[in-house]
Amino acid sequence: MKIHKEGYPTILIALALIGLINFLSFNYLSYILIKISVLLVSLIFFYLILHFFRNPTRDVKINNKHIIAPSDGKLVVVEEVFENEFLKEDCTQLSIFMSPLNVHKQWYPVNGEVIYSKNHDGKYLVAWHPKSSLENERSTIVIQTKENQKILFRQIAGAVARRICNYSSKGDKVDQNMEAGFIKFGSRIDVFIPKSSKIKVSLNDIIIGGETVLAEM
């Protein structure tokens, strides 16, 4: 299993804590069943951490007409909204909720140039809360395609997620096969697309980052 680079510090800290707990357990606890139980729970916990930071290789098919999913998860919002941070226009919002069991790296949804990238401090409401898109810690990235379409996507921290890694800088030339960032633990991604786009997914669909086509432009 390939591990994402963002996972190494967390994995090393977890390994040190697990080692310490089991050292104390085997040296100071009397009952062998308790020692074995502590060891098994520690191993399961460590496996879950490794599983969270897995970095799968995806067969990303680059297509200028497609808006692909930036992340794994479940589609929890499909609605028309007014985007007021950068686009300043009516568009369609697609929101993907990521549980701690999902892959948490992000891909760029379209090919083009990053024309806006900004990190915002904020709250840590649960990721499915309606106000999390505007009030939680978040990063907003806007890509302008060769056809001059502007696609905005937003990495949003949740009640558990406390660190957003945004790899985008204004002026970057990007494509759908490139990694856009990483969010640690449960979180959400909002994608704002032109109203004229043809939606290819439905509410509650299970989404695969880098593979699922959200819409066609």
Segments of the chain scoring below 70 in pLDDT:
122-135, 158-162, 185-186
Q: Is residue 57 part of a domain?
A: no
The CATH number covering residue 154 comes to: 2.70.70
Quick check: is 61 in a domain?
no
By the 10 Å C-beta count (0-12 exposed, 13-18 middle, 19+ buried), 176 is classed as: buried
The question of whether 187 is a catalytic residue gets the answer yes
Residue 82, pLDDT score: 96
Give me the chain's average pLDDT, please: 90
**pLDDT (tens digit per residue) in 70-126:** 999 999 999 999 999 999 999 999 999 988 889 989 999 999 999 999 998 866 555
- Cα–Cα distance between 16 and 71 in angstroms, integer? 30
Radius of gyration over every alpha carbon of the chain, rounded to an integer in angstroms? 20
Is residue 75 domain-resident? yes
Q: How far apart are CA 85 and CA 104, in angstroms?
A: 24
Q: Return the pLDDT at 105.
A: 93
Q: Are 156 and 131 within one domain?
A: yes
Structural domain containing residue 32: 5-52
Residues 38, 129 within the same domain = no
The pLDDT of residue 164 is 86
CB 141 within 8 A of CB 112: no
Are 108 and 194 in a shared domain? yes
Please tell me the predicted confidence (pLDDT) of residue 121.
Answer: 81
**Angle value at C-alpha 177, between 173 and 178, nearest 5 degrees:** 50
Encoded tokens for 39:
């060891």
- Which of helix, strand or coil describes residue 121? coil
* C-alpha to C-alpha distance for 184 and 162, rounded to whole angstroms: 7
Give the total number of structural domains in the chain: 2
**Of 95, 132, 168, 187, which one is the catalytic site residue?**
187
Same domain assignment for residues 20 and 123: no
